[in-house]
Amino acid sequence: MFDLQSVTGKIITGNLLFAACCIVYLIWWSVAFRPGYTAAMGVKGFLFLATAVLGVAGLAVIIQGCNMTSGGVRYVGIIAAGAAVYIVLLILTNVLMHRQVTTELMLIVFWACMQICACDALYGADVISRAVFIVLAVIVLVFAAAGMICYLKYYDLPPMTAFYDGMVPLILFAVCMIGEAVYLIVSK
């Protein structure tokens, strides 16, 4: 088993909390954005709040795990690269592609940065090999790219198709984080 206070324990716990955030976000999306369906404001509010709490909790625990390694300078570089990517994507999608800006763009880039930082912490703590780090980073980037494709296509789709399209990134991100957590648990 793993120690919950270790880098591995923190990353696993953070990933599972963030995966739970994605699952609750999916439920919220299902009741808040399903075409032809209206949920009570209290239900939507509770689910949105639960999504935020789980997301912040997951992020906080992942940051704790990342701070347990000596990779702080790399994290600054990863976050700076993510900020630059966000600005470029914001300009490309809004100015050149005329896509309405929503928080999902920020969340996709933010999620990828968070996951790469977590993988870097695991690599820096000698929990995973360089090859595993590269495989996990590629998976994160592929899933983020798929999320971007969904983000770009959303407004061009019929309402019900767009509704399902909006779910794809959440499902991919939850699967990625749960898969990483399972891998870390099984590989110990």
pLDDT tens, position by position, 105-160? 999 999 999 999 999 999 999 999 999 999 999 999 999 999 999 999 999 999 99
pLDDT higher than 90, residue 162: yes
Rounded Cα distance between 26 and 120, Å, is 28
**For residue 177, what are the contacts with CB-CB under 8 A and spacing of at least 6?**
15, 16, 18, 19, 22, 115
Of 150, 157, 152, 82, nearest to 117 by C-alpha is 82
- Which has the minimum average pLDDT: 33-47, 61-75, 80-94, 101-115? 61-75
Quote the pTM value: 0.92
pLDDT at 12 over 90: yes
Kindly state the percentage of the chain with pLDDT values over 70.
97
- Of residues 175 and 124, more confidently modeled: 175
Structure tokens at 130: 């360089």
Contacts of 167 (CB under 8 A, 6+ apart): 26, 29, 30
Cβ neighbors of 97 (< 8 A, separation 6 or more) are 152
β strands within the chain, DSSP E: none
Question: Looking at residues 54-69, what average pLDDT do you find?
Answer: 94
Instruction: Output the pLDDT for position 74.
Output: 81
Which amino acid type is present at position 146? A
Q: Is 80 exceeded by the pLDDT of residue 67? A: yes
pLDDT band at 1 (very low <50, low <70, confident <90, very high): low
The answer on pLDDT for 72 being more than 80 is no
Give residue-wise pLDDT tens across range 33-61.
Answer: 899 888 888 999 999 999 999 999 999 99
Q: Where are the alpha helices (DSSP H) in 92-158?
A: 103-124, 130-153
pLDDT of 38 reads 82
pLDDT at 71 over 80: no
pLDDT of residue 75: 85
pLDDT band at residue 73 using 50, 70 and 90 as cut-offs: low
CA angle 15–20–25, rounded 5-degree value: 125
